[in-house]
Amino acid sequence: MSTKNKSSGLVPRSVSWVKQFKKDYKAAAKKAKADLAALQKVMQMIERRETLPPEFRDHPLTGRYPRRDGDTNCRECHVGNDWLLIYRFPDDGTVEFVRTGTHSDLFG
């Protein structure tokens, strides 16, 4: 049985949630305005190695987020107007979800 993605032909990445992302996700679930289905859709696209459409404004973060002691190669995309998802690829086969929330939640 193949584990390849039907659309891309690539094997999906394994997924890891850092501790802070778990907290952010729970907080988002409590907010009436949070569209968790939209967040889950974006996360699944990243897991499946799909290219995010331009409306998600996916880009690498500059600087040394989230730590100041070194570059962590994080990326950011917009789930909604003021709702971000920060993630990184520790290796080619893994995606690590780092943070989610508004600009002020994450960079405040």
Phi, psi for residue 107 in degrees, rounded to 5: -120, -5
- Cβ atoms of 49 and 59 within 8 Å: the answer is no
**Choice among 55, 87, 103, 105 that is catalytic:** 103
Residue 7 CB-half CA count within 13 A: 8
**Catalytic site residue 59?**
no
Instruction: Give 16's strand partners.
Output: 96
Active site members: 103
